[in-house]
Structure 1
Amino acid sequence: MPELPEVEALCAFLRERLTGRVVARVQPVAISALKTYDPPVTALEGLTVGSVARHGKFLDIEAGGLHLVIHLARAGWLRWKDELPAEPPHPSPKNPLALRVRLAGDAGDGFDLTEAGTKKGLAVHVVRDPAEVPGVARLGPDPLDPGFTPERFATLLHGERRQLKGVLRDQTVLAGVGNAYSDEVLHAARMSPFKLASSLTDEETARLYAALGDTLRDAVERSRGLAAGELKAEKKLGMRVHGRTGRPCPVCGDSVREVSFADSSLQYCPTCQTGGKPLADRRLSRLLK
């Protein structure tokens, strides 16, 4: 799933290619991706793109006072095409294409929104204000916002009796951090994903705040200037523990471990994060009974 750093890089990539351009055609293919109907997506046609912004994991393309707000979900992606096919797109069970945006001009360029797999989560909204999108309206503060201070972070954690992993992933608490970067932040902070947020000392809270900002800023910097098609590979290469089960921790050399859940998993280093003790993997425990 694209998270804050990848969406930030997509914003920069699109900002260079869309700002000042006129939208020629918006062609929906997967109707399930459209979450609004008034205004219709075709209302964007003929409008000039004024800006491209990010709200957490949401992309926001503004044109003529309307906002095309996109959430790529788990398996969605944006694919830029310097030359789109001339023929109109058609729905097909084997075709991952969900929406096509064609720009005016002789180049025939634009982008496709695609979504792999059978579980569909890609969401496309056309609204007059991004706050009309429920997911945007519920977002917590952005960790890279200059106004996101250590004091504000400490206030968010105060009285929070959930595990750190869940708190970091909660978009109503922090905007933009998902499964992958929460693993990375906790590894950098040398904290167990199961540690209760309310149990942190002042020193631990400061350490977690620094790890959060440093991890996200480093990921954004690594992605800077990359084309949209290169961002997934860069994200994977930059991970220290997430997605690296069984491989050596780059800090201490211990094997990265995993805890599996129904629809996701987390990775961590026992030596760096849990005092050398492996965390209980409930799914594995059931298999061993």
Structure 2
Amino acid sequence: MPELPEVQALAERMTAACAGRSIAHVEVLSFQVLKTFDPPISALDGQPVAGVGRHGKFLDLSTGDLSTGDGPGLHLVLHLARAGWVRHRDSFPARTEPLRAGRGPLALRLTLDDGSGFDVTEQGTTKRLAAYLVSDPRLVPGISRLGVDPLSEDFTPDVLTALTAAAHHRLKTVLTDQTVLAGIGNAYSDEILHAARLSPYALAPSLGEEEHHRLYVAIREVLGEALDRARSTTADALKAEKKAGLAVHGRVGETCPRCGDTVRSVVFSESSLQYCPTCQTGGRVLADRRLSRLLK
């Protein structure tokens, strides 16, 4: 799943590709992807692109002519979910008839006035990618509920202390709760906890001052370094670069790069977490409920 670093890098690349351009046409090719109906998607035709921003893991393509003060106007907001992606195209193949909806991974195509544009795709059979056309991004329910951005100036050590004190949940849950911290998902939460040498099962309010400090530094450094790597990687290689830069997430059975212990995993219904027992849990192996059920 694209998380804060990848989404931010995509936003910056899309902004550069859209500079000075207007939208020629947007085609919605997946029946369930567009979650709004007013204004219609055709309202984007002819609109100049003001830029592409980010709210947590949401992309926000805004329109309007900022040089004249006429904008931003409409916002095409995308949530890429687990298997969505955006690919820039210098041009599109010539065709004699419209694209047919509901076939293949292509969910939405945005064509710019110079013939270039973007394909928004989603792999797999479970379709969760979402697009919204709104006058204000805060009208998107997921954005209106977002917590603080962990790479913003608003995110300070004191803010983190207040958030964990009020959370009453395990650290893994707190880090991935978008109403608490916007943009961190399953992969980078594992990486942050490994870097901070904290158990994913530790209760957030129980952290001491030194543990809070380690957690804050890990959040900023893990996300900041991942963003630097994403910015220096081509768009098509972003997913592979993300995986290559991970120390524990997705590496169950491999060796921890810090201590040499074996990376372990706990599997849930639709996700899993990875951790190092030596670095994070004092050598204790966390119970894997799925494995426990199989052994009964």
Against the structure 1 CA distance between its residues 38 and 92, is the aligned structure 2 distance closer, same or farther, given a 3 Å change threshold? Answer: closer
Alpha-carbon offset, residue 160 of structure 1: 2.0
- Specify the SS of the correspondent of 1:68: strand
Partner of 1:91: 101
Partner residue, 2:69: none
Match of 2:189 in 1: 182
Q: Secondary structure at the match of 2:188?
A: helix
Please say if residues 67 and 128 of structure 1, whose CA atoms lie closer than 8 Å, have aligned partners that are also in contact: yes
Cα contact 2:31–2:102 (8 A) shared by 1: no
AA aligned to 1:61 is L
Task: State the AA in 2 paired with 1:55.
Answer: H
1:34, CA displacement in angstroms?
A: 0.2
Query: Does 2:180 correspond to 1:170?
Result: no
- Give 1:58-73 correspondences, 5 Å limit: 58-64=58-64, 65-73=73-81
Q: Deviations over 1:194-248 (max 9, x none)?
A: 0000100111111101100110000000111433211101100000000000000
Q: Deviations over 1:52-91 (max 9, x none)?
A: 1100000000012100100000011111111212223212
Structure 2 unpaired stretches of 5+:
65-72
Q: How many residues align?
A: 286
Partner of 2:158, secondary structure, is helix
Q: Is structure 2 residue 170 aligned with structure 1 residue 160?
A: no
Moved over 3 A (4+): none
Contact 2:28 2:101 in 1 (8 A): no
Report Cα offsets for 1:113-163 as digits up to 9, x if no partner: 111111111000010100000000000000000121111111111132110
Report SS of the residue matched to 2:126.
coil
Per-residue CA deviation, residues 85-119 of structure 1 (Å, 9 max, x unaligned), is 222321244x11100001112xx211111111111
User: What CA deviation, in whole Å up to 9, does each residue of 1:152-209 have, x standing for no partner?
Assistant: 1111111321100000000000000000000000000000000000100111111101
Q: Distance in 2 between matches of 1:164 and 1:45?
A: 45
Counterparts of 1:140 and 1:192, CA distance in 2: 23
Amino acid at match of 2:88: W
1:124 is aligned to 2:136: no
Separation in 1, partners of 2:23, 2:210: 51
Mapped contact 2:34–2:131 kept (Cα < 8 A): yes
2:215 matched to which residue of 1?
208
Q: Does the CA contact (< 8 Å) of 2:170 and 2:201 recur in 1?
A: yes
Alignment of 1:259-270 (within 5 A): 259-270=266-277
Q: 1:226 aligns with which of 210, 220, 233?
A: 233
1:80 corresponds to: 88
> Please, what is the CA RMSD of the aligned residues?
0.9
Structure 2 contact 193–199 (Cα < 8 Å) conserved:
yes
CA distance in 1, matches of 2:200, 2:41: 41
CA contact (8 A) 1:13 1:225 kept: no
1:156 and 1:186 map into 2 onto residues whose CA distance is 16
1-structure distance, mates of 2:230, 2:215: 23
Aligned partners of 2:229, 2:215: CA distance in 1, in Å? Answer: 21
Which segments of 5 or more consecutive residues in structure 1 lack a partner in the other structure?
A: none
Residue 142 of structure 2 aligns with which residue? 135
SS of 1:80's equivalent in the other structure is strand
The yes-or-no answer on 1:283 pairing with 2:290 is: yes
Deviates more, 1:237-246 or 1:82-91: 82-91
SS of equivalent residue, structure 1 residue 136: helix
Deviations 1:231-283 (A, max 9, x none): 10110000000000000001011110000000000000001000111100000
Identity %: 58
Hey, what does 1:45 align to over in structure 2? 45
What is the match of residue 150 of structure 1?
157
